[in-house]
Amino acid sequence: MIQVVGRKDNSNATPDGLLPQAFGQGADYQTLIDLWADKGFSPRELAALIGAHSTSRAFAQQQNGIPTGGQQDSTPRVWDVKYYSQTQSQSPPRGVYRFQSDVNLANPETETGKAFSDFARNPGTWAAEFSAAFYKLSIAGISEDVVAGLIDCTAVVHTIQKATMASGKANNDQVKASNLFDCSFLTAVVTGGATGIGLMITQALVANGAKVYITSRRQEVLDNAIKLYNTGPGSIHALPGDVSSKDGCMKLAEEMKQKEPNGIQLLVNNAGIARDDNTKFSTNGQPDMTDPEAISQHFLKSEEKQWMDTFQTNVMGQYFMSMAFLPLLAKGREVVPGYSSSVVNVSSISGQMKGSSMGQFAYATSKGAFTHLSRMLGTTFAQSKVRVNVIAPGVFPSEMTTGGSNDQNKSEMDMASANPAGRKGHDTDMAATILMLAGRGGTFYNEQIMYPDGGNTLVQAAFK
């Protein structure tokens, strides 16, 4: 193998006095930009290349105080975009060290700094631009006739990578929670992501670095969610639309193709409705369950349209969303080595319970159908290397369970709970569930059903 770029001995620091003024103490931004421009590289290409610092540690004590072994983001040896946001941060995480030259490049007022911000929000964009810039760097100084004779060894390299990963052996850094549940490489779409369970999922993903598009038919709800919860290190973006029709799902997928040409890594089908207004026990009372006539009269109050509307959103819409977004998910998988994209469907324990779901036959039946649809999607997507998992929650505060939300897009519940946990679901319960499935630690999960329900299905009649 011919070494084209880099130095053979990378375990020793460069002797003092050899580096230009662009590096070390007193580093000068423009000198560095000019050095790379002289070799034909733009500021944005330089910003893309320097993202490789995401995986690095210092081999030797640096003059500016970076110790031997010092890391340049909180997830060394992990190929992600945390380096960009943490280099730009006014207060980087403890144990993260920054070169002065990197800090100069990260200045948001500069062209490279703007690229830093873009890459921090768009992992797929960075991966594609790094690949192009690194290829350009690899052939720098090589004549065109030699370049023309080079052989593409990508397939061989991927085989070697897979063989290495197949051992399953990990060092302590790789099993840290910050690595297993990091979402900084994710671009996600969460339907119904501005309120209720959808907002809980959105918050968890964004708080751990993901770029999240949230859908809703209500623009004001989307705007409020972004205003309140778009606090980083990831980002939230509005995607207005209707997921209850095939046309609406196709439009959303087409819009995402324009916004994210490198694909996405996660689709959360969370949007859902309940239309058993005429029969649910909470507002209509429960009939005498020993009287066949009373049971019949009570449940025949249900209307055909209530069933049709429920299934249209809770089953049909989820089917068309999953099918429309499959190509984007497959494309997104290609830009994150060692990761497989996934669909996470938010169903309900109502689809597993054997009772009437407190008088909500249409809702519970639709959730049972949705859970089985997820099994079918998992089988259908398997050879495309896109996973499908299910979250089947117990009772969580949402607009569906409480009837509305407050000015924080949150809902509140004041009800007794009969589950072993003795309470309703919390935001953190849902956050832990989605992080387990969405992060790198969840890539071995496929066609699984998670039940964050406080043990409800343990003590009440249910099948799993």
- The answer to whether the CB of 358 falls within 8 A of the CB of 280 is yes
Quote the CA–CA distance of 13 and 59 in Å, as a whole number. 7
Helix (H), strand (E) at residue 346? strand 342-346
Give the active site residue among 82, 211, 331, 367: 367
Assign 315 to helix, strand or coil. helix
State residue 215 phi and psi, 5-degree precision.
-105, 150
Give the active site residue among 235, 348, 357, 405: 348
Quote the CA–CA distance of 439 and 364 in Å, as a whole number. 29
Beta bridge partners of 189: 213, 267
Which amino acid appears at position 411 of this protein?
S
Helix (H), strand (E) at residue 267? strand 266-269
CA torsion, points 438, 442, 446, 447, in degrees to nearest 10? Answer: -70
To the query of whether residue 348 is one of the catalytic residues in this protein, the response is yes
Which amino acid appears at position 418 of this protein?
A
Quote the CA–CA distance of 139 and 8 in Å, as a whole number. 17
To the query of whether residue 367 is one of the catalytic residues in this protein, the response is yes
**How many other C-beta atoms can be found within 10 angstroms of the C-beta atom of residue 440?**
18
- The answer to whether the CB of 204 falls within 8 A of the CB of 452 is no
Q: Which two tokens stand for residue 34?
A: 């000019």
Quote the CA–CA distance of 370 and 311 in Å, as a whole number. 9
Quote the CA–CA distance of 21 and 140 in Å, as a whole number. 23
Which amino acid appears at position 316 of this protein?
M
To the query of whether residue 363 is one of the catalytic residues in this protein, the response is yes
CA 69 to mean position of chain CA atoms = 30
Quote the CA–CA distance of 392 and 277 in Å, as a whole number. 22
Give the active site residue among 84, 213, 363, 451: 363
Cis peptide before 108 (omega within 30 of 0): no
Residue (of 108, 54, 47) closest to 82 by Cα position: 54
State residue 96 phi and psi, 5-degree precision.
-100, 125
Q: Which residues contact 81 (CB under 8 A, 6 or more apart)?
A: 51, 54, 119, 120, 123, 126, 184, 185, 209
How far apart, in Å, are the Cα atoms of 226 and each of 68, 195, 202, 220, 256?
A: 41, 11, 10, 10, 18
Catalytic residues: 348, 363, 367
